[in-house]
Amino acid sequence: MTDLIAWFETLPQWATFAWLVLVLSVCAGIESIAPLFTSKKPRLKHLGTNSALFSVTTLASIPFTAALTATALWVEQNNFGLLNLVQLPLWFELLLAIIALDFMGQYLVHYLLHHVRWMWRLHMIHHSDTQVDATTAFRHHPGDIIIRTFFAAAAVVMMGIPIAYYALYQFIRVFFGAVTHANFHLPPNVDRWISYLFVTPDMHKFHHHEQAPWTDSNFGNLFSVWDRLFGTLVYDKLDAIRYGLDVTDENRDLNVWYQLKLPFNKSISTEGRPALGSRGSVT
């Protein structure tokens, strides 16, 4: 465990990118062999669109990612945060850090991205994809990722999470993000049982349905317990899912410029968005 943490403490950039490529490649292979849904739209163009949006977002968020890294290093050097108040076993510290990052840096901010209208406008790009697959996990507006980075930084400061723990969580997050968006699914009984603790491919598919209340459910990234605890879980029949957003032009979901302008498109109404405190349902 100590050696693993030490490796993540000095994690090179190429390793993160290589991990991303590896996970996406494996998912793409399974999607080709046993796709959950079929689409008439060109798969390569879909890959190109999502890759372009990922590249724009990555470049725009570099200063904020660097600031978060600097914050984690400062926290570690100054023994700041809850984890530094008491001596705990390494494995337990890591678990607490992952739980805090998953709640604050993923579930909580994701919930707000759906319930605060100006945040929702930034998040619409992720949901406008009409052929969800592993690459959709990395299809975001720069503003969306910047907001998420601030929430992750808050978790780092509050808990006193060192850079190695954060880097390890990012590796886990990339895996879960790609797998839960991937265009395949597990055997239903297996998926259902795993979903009692972790977010699964079937569980997350309902989140990408074009209409509420399913769109506004299943916000978790790693742990599904947040959705169960806060009543935002939906689990139904997959054949009822239709990807995309009913307020955007589904014929322009592969148009990069149209997607980047979605937050500023005043013709797209946010009226009727769920208010803070609204809940999903288990079915």
SS (H, E, C) 249-269: CHHHCCCHHHHHCHHHCCCCC
CA 94 to chain centre: 20
- The pLDDT value given to residue 280: 47
Integer Cα distance of 180 and 137 in angstroms:
8
The per-residue pLDDT for range 31-72, each reduced to its tens digit, is 999 999 998 888 999 999 999 999 999 999 999 999 999 999
pLDDT at 261 > cutoff 90:
yes
The per-residue pLDDT for range 171-219, each reduced to its tens digit, is 999 999 999 999 998 999 999 999 999 999 999 999 999 998 899 999 9
Alpha helices in the chain (DSSP H): 2-9, 13-33, 43-60, 62-77, 90-102, 109-115, 117-127, 142-159, 163-181, 188-194, 201-205, 225-229, 256-260
pLDDT at 130 > cutoff 90:
yes
Integer Cα distance of 19 and 163 in angstroms:
18
**Domain ranges across the chain:** 45-264
Asked, as a colleague might, if the bond just before 213 is cis with ω within 30 of 0, I would say yes
CA 2 to chain centre: 28
Half-sphere exposure of 165 (CA within 13 A, CB side): 27
